[in-house]
Structure 1
Amino acid sequence: MDSPRLSDRQLQAFQQVMECGSVSGAARRLFIAQPGVTRLLKQLEHDLGFTLFERRRGRLVATPEARLFYREQLRVWSGLETLRATARRIREREVGGLRISAMPLLGMTFLPDVLAAFAPQHEEARIELATFRSEQVLEDVVTQRAELGFAMLGGGDERVESEAFCLESVCLLPGDHPLAARDRLTLEDLHDQPLICYEPRDPTRQSLDRLLAAAGVRPRRHLQVSLALQAARLVAQGAGITVIDPLSARIFADKGLTIRPFTAELNDTFYLLTPREQPLSCLAQAFIGEFRTHFSATLRGTEPPGS
């Protein structure tokens, strides 16, 4: 049997009857007469080659085949909506829109600062910044829900283009802590210190744990957090010390806290992700340039131009 010829109008009539439970209700929704709906259903049944509805005690009852076909129709139409949304995003991007998906490390503080400097130069552009875990950021870029992504993942993913940025970790301490007198801190300095740490699956936590174990260093760990800002906040309250990225640490530089370089190499790397098959818009390229300027200035401990 040849593949059925299905028209949008037939499928719309079928969907409305399934949802309303009657031809009359479907006719009202479609703004056509009831005989028109009945005709569309009969055409669809003919094209499909099986019965969709049976009349029992004056009511239309969907057959098992109709229910199965309806579920598949909803799945396909949901995919079409996703496709239409993708087309809208591409169209909006071409006329000056930019969506950025970022992990909390950058999305909570650093990227808003970059946007504050960037947005006045592009007042006509619509720019969105969303914050998710790295796994979702990668998915957003792969599916092109976002044109730019910042994540701890994706460096070796063939579905995206990636650029690596390295962060040298620092120690954040209360201003009156005895270790604040030192120019830089080592692994050994953490021994028996109240260390505020990240979750066990965090890459920075894992790297630090391996180095501490190899050196035989045992800090006191009774507080565990998910985000760098949480750790920094606890340090500000005198709850301990933490190993943190310099982007988050800089926010607390004027809060009476001390920032010291940390000699251990934790290989903290995040990635700027872009879609592999989609050329970057001019707006995205301009934002990347602004990001690089701010990132370099922050690592040098200076203010970016125009700040």
Structure 2
Amino acid sequence: MNIRQLKGFAAVMDSGLISKAADEIGITQPAMSKMIKQIEDELGIRLFERSRGRLFPTPEASYLKNVANSVLNQLNEATRFLQDYGNMRAGDLRVMSIPGPSLFFLPNLINEFVPALSQVNASLMAWNSSSIVNWISNHQSGVGIVEIYDPNPFLRLETLDLRCACALSKSHKLAAKEILTPEDLSQESLALIVSDHPLFEDIQAVFKAAKCPMNIKFQSDLFVPQFAMIEDRGLIGIIDPINIRNYEIYSGRSDNIVFRRFEPRVGLKLTVVSPSLRPLSALENEFRSVLVGELTKIAEPVLR
């Protein structure tokens, strides 16, 4: 017995008339009569007694109707769910990231991406790069942001180079300049990422090449704590676009801190990771595209 036969049988049970049931599912009356006969022959039972032009269901038909209702309801529910899934209004969205992007940038992006009142279950985990790579490699699902990573046969990798900018108080004397260099910063107090971070090594290299000292007064493993030192103590930071966005989100686009281009260019290199051995769901694949697009858009930040 197939789904079409179940629908035809259920229509006959609901209407009690072959003609009305045939119209309901879009076939002729003889075709509907033949369908009911085929079901009876297949099951070896009589489903209806005929009297005065109407059909009266047997006890076996009543039992089959309960089964048909259950099957058709599950089919309708599955159809609705998969349509929502295809329209990205249902499903699981797993996002993993190193801590910085998970503070404000990713929650804001997920909030904009997931439709209101949808059936999407979103999760965001802040882990280190190795844990993210291991999880996605083993489970072959999810989307992650890690520090630049070597090629991996289990992962699809897309690395982006996000140009950093100087962050300083709007009242700082150097805020009047559009471009800042190591020479400009050589006599200033700096707030920077910790010394074992790849970005610190790149910053250190450009200062060394310019033969300029680095007067570091504050270091942290996240960029966000640096903003308090920049705003309150007049330090200058060299900040990536994600954390510029973090600041704009949590500060309500306050103008207490301004951002200026830093030359020569230094960038924070991040990699978007996803499985390579199994396709992502439509939902996660679309989010991955949105994430890469957003990172590409802010890679060369518009400064204010």
TM above 0.5, one fold?
A: yes
Deviation at 1:228, TM superposition (A): 0.9
User: Is 2:133 the partner of 1:133?
Assistant: no
Change (3 A) 1:108 1:155: farther
Q: Who is 1:196 aligned against?
A: 191
Aligned counterparts, 1:114-263, within 5 A: 114-120=109-115, 123-144=118-139, 147-250=142-245, 251-252=247-248, 253-263=253-263
Letter in 2 for 1:220: N
DSSP 3-state at the match of 1:236: helix
Contact 1:173 1:258 in 2 (8 A): yes
Unpaired stretches in structure 2, ≥5 consecutive residues: 1-84
Q: How does 1:288-299 map to 2 (within 5 A)?
A: 288-299=288-299
Q: CA deviation at 1:297?
A: 4.5
Partner residue of 2:281? 281
Which residue in the other structure is 2:270 paired with?
A: 270
Partners in 2 of 1:111 and 1:153 — Cα distance? 18
CA distance in 2 between counterparts of 1:121 and 1:155 reads 37
Could you tell me how far apart the structure 2 residues matched to 1:195 and 1:114 are? 30
Task: Tell me the alpha carbon deviations over residues 10-35 of structure 1, each in whole angstroms, 9 at most, x when there is no partner.
Answer: xxxxxxxxxxxxxxxxxxxxxxxxxx
Q: Secondary structure at the match of 2:123?
A: strand
2:167 match: secondary structure? strand
- Give ranges in structure 1 of 5+ residues lacking alignment: 1-92, 303-307
Secondary structure of the residue aligned to 1:188 is helix
Q: CA RMSD in A?
A: 2.3
CA distance in 2, matches of 1:298, 1:198: 20
Q: Percent identity?
A: 21
* Structure of higher CA gyration radius: 2
Distance 2:164 2:297 in 1: 16
**Matched-pair contact (CA < 8 Å) for 1:151–1:270:** yes
Residue 296 of structure 1: how far off its partner (Å):
4.4
Distance 2:293 2:279 in 1: 22
After TM superposition, the structure 1 = structure 2 runs for residues 1-150 of structure 1, keeping only pairs within 5 Å, are 96-120=91-115, 123-144=118-139, 147-150=142-145
Distance 1:278 1:292, change over 3 A: same
- Quick check: 1:99–1:145 contact (8 Å CA) kept in 2? no
Tell me the secondary structure at the aligned position of residue 149 of structure 1: strand
Q: Secondary structure at the residue paired with 1:171?
A: strand
Normalised to the residue count of structure 2, the TM-score between the two structures is 0.63
Aligned length: 210
* Closer/same/farther in 2, CA of residues 300 and 208 from structure 1, 3 Å limit: closer
**For 1:107-158, what per-residue CA distance to the aligned partner results, in whole angstroms no more than 9, with x for missing partners?**
1111111111011267111111111122222222222275111011324233
The separation in 2 between residues aligned to 1:109 and 1:99, in whole angstroms, is 16
Q: 1:146 to 1:101 in 2, by over 3 A?
A: farther
The one-letter code of the counterpart of 1:197 is L
TM-score by length of 1: 0.63
The SS at the match of 1:180 is: helix
**In structure 2, what is the Cα distance between the partners aligned to 1:289 and 1:158?**
20
Counterpart-to-counterpart distance in 2, 1:298 and 1:212: 25
> What amino acid sits opposite 2:277 in the alignment?
E
The structural deviation recorded for 1:184 is 1.1
